[in-house]
Amino acid sequence: MKKQHLSLVSLAAVVGLAVTGCGGGTQAARDRPTCPDGEIQFGIEPYEDPSKLKPAYKVLANALEDELNCPVNVEVVADYSAEVLAMQNGKLDLGQFGPIGYVFASNRANAEPLVSFGTSDGKLSTYTAGIWVPEDSKIENIEDLQGKSLALGGVGSTSGDVLPRYALNKAGIQESDLKMDYTGGHPEALLSLVNGAVDAAQINSQTLATAKSEGTIDPDKYKQIWKSEPIPNDPITVRGDMDPEFKKAVEEALLDLDPSAVKKVGKFLDVSPPGPLVEVDKKTYAPLFDLAETMNLTEESL
């Protein structure tokens, strides 16, 4: 299958726009390599309420179990850095990372991207970072944020931290020139704006879609003053020191999943209706490696 590479023309363009196998399964599944330590450990970054994420990923994990004939345990980790550390320490076999989280997981744990989420026409899905303000706000562009308060998601988040801060830097605004509040997650940042606690908030396209469907925001009451170029959606990765045959088996199993297995997860990622998972590699996320280098980000940045 052809690997999906997102073409981001330049870094500036990124921010330029405002036990053993369980019973059953197919013969192919029974021929898969033995489960690592009897169970696959699959970590997920907490980009949404964990109580909502875990049931959605359990559907995906159950389908993966059927393909591999191997139990899959899903854990939503505490934060972005915790997942990187868990994979580095061999506690996770698979992990879905945000794009910037993947950069650090690649560097620290040799995480290898296998697949990401495809659209119904088989293309790699994307999302955008954004900064929003109330519709009646006098803030019209990112330069107007000087001296204002801005709600961000979690430290190390691609759309909830790194890209908005890079955009501010490109606009000539020092972080000391405004009040930045890390709220602990994308939904929390959105609610800070809705509740009037801040002048502006980062809200990415995925969080906005979920909030609209749940009725927690009326988009007509807000306006977007900055928007990034499309960001390639999260990769599902495998720990680099895993057995090559296992890596291959997992990749094939993920690519074989029916779109119905990723439908619930796809809603959180604004991929609806979803297509099959699509193959990706390190080159797909090259602009994010460039971004991390440009901003001098280190593991401590998480």
Same domain, 57 and 143: no
Same domain, 156 and 196: yes
Asked if the structure places residue 117 within a domain, the reply is yes
Quote the CA–CA distance of 17 and 167 in Å, as a whole number: 9
Angle at 76 between CA 254 and CA 190, to 5 degrees: 110
Quote the CA–CA distance of 63 and 71 in Å, as a whole number: 10
Same domain, 265 and 214: no
**CATH number of the domain encompassing residue 213:** 3.40.190.10
Domain that holds residue 221: 129-227
Asked if the structure places residue 1 within a domain, the reply is no
Quote the CA–CA distance of 23 and 233 in Å, as a whole number: 33
Long-range CB contacts (< 8 A, 24+ apart) of 214-218? 216/187, 216/190, 216/191, 217/190
Q: Supply the mean pLDDT for the chain.
A: 90
DSSP class of residue 158 equals I
pLDDT digits (tens, 9 = 90+) for 58-77: 999 999 999 999 999 999 99
Q: Which range among 4-8, 105-109, 139-143 shows the weakest confidence by mean pLDDT? A: 4-8
pLDDT digits (tens, 9 = 90+) for 97-111: 999 999 999 999 999
Count of the separate structural domains present in the chain? 2
pLDDT at 27 exceeding the cut of 90: no
So what's the pLDDT on residue 1? 58
Which residues are CB-contacts of 229 (< 8 A; sequence separation ≥ 6)? Answer: 8, 13, 14, 15, 16, 17, 128
Same domain, 37 and 180: no
| Number of C-beta neighbours around residue 90 at 10 A | 14
Considering only CA atoms, which of 253, 202, 261 is closest in space to residue 231?
A: 202
State the pLDDT confidence band at 32, using cuts at 50, 70 and 90. low
Asked if the structure places residue 6 within a domain, the reply is no
Domain C-terminal end among 199, 227, 255: 227
pLDDT digits (tens, 9 = 90+) for 181-224: 999 999 999 999 999 999 999 999 999 999 999 999 999 999 99
Considering only CA atoms, which of 96, 87, 86 is closest in space to residue 47?
A: 96
pLDDT at 10 exceeding the cut of 50: no
Same domain, 152 and 209: yes
* Phi, psi values for residue 115, rounded to 5°: -145, 165
So what's the pLDDT on residue 30? 41
pLDDT at 172 exceeding the cut of 60: yes
How many Cα atoms occupy the beta-carbon half-sphere of 234 within 13 Å? 24
Same domain, 65 and 101: yes
Which residues are CB-contacts of 105 (< 8 A; sequence separation ≥ 6)? Answer: 83, 84, 87, 88, 95, 97, 111, 237
Mean pLDDT score, 170-186: 94
Same domain, 180 and 245: no
Which residues are CB-contacts of 278 (< 8 A; sequence separation ≥ 6)? Answer: 1, 4, 115, 116, 117, 118, 122, 123, 124, 255
Same domain, 144 and 241: no
Same domain, 163 and 210: yes
Asked if the structure places residue 238 within a domain, the reply is yes
Mean pLDDT score, 133-145: 98
DSSP class of residue 125 equals P
- What is Dmax (Cα atoms) for the chain? 63
Asked if the structure places residue 108 within a domain, the reply is yes
Same domain, 63 and 189: no
Asked if the structure places residue 5 within a domain, the reply is no
pLDDT at 80 exceeding the cut of 70: yes
pTM (2 decimals)? 0.87
Same domain, 196 and 263: no
pLDDT over 90, % of the chain? 83
pLDDT digits (tens, 9 = 90+) for 231-265: 999 999 999 999 999 999 999 999 999 999 999 99
Asked if the structure places residue 4 within a domain, the reply is no
Asked if the structure places residue 259 within a domain, the reply is yes
Tokens of 158: 């691609």
Same domain, 157 and 243: no
Domain C-terminal end among 227, 246, 272: 227
pLDDT at 120 exceeding the cut of 70: yes
Domain C-terminal end among 211, 227, 243: 227
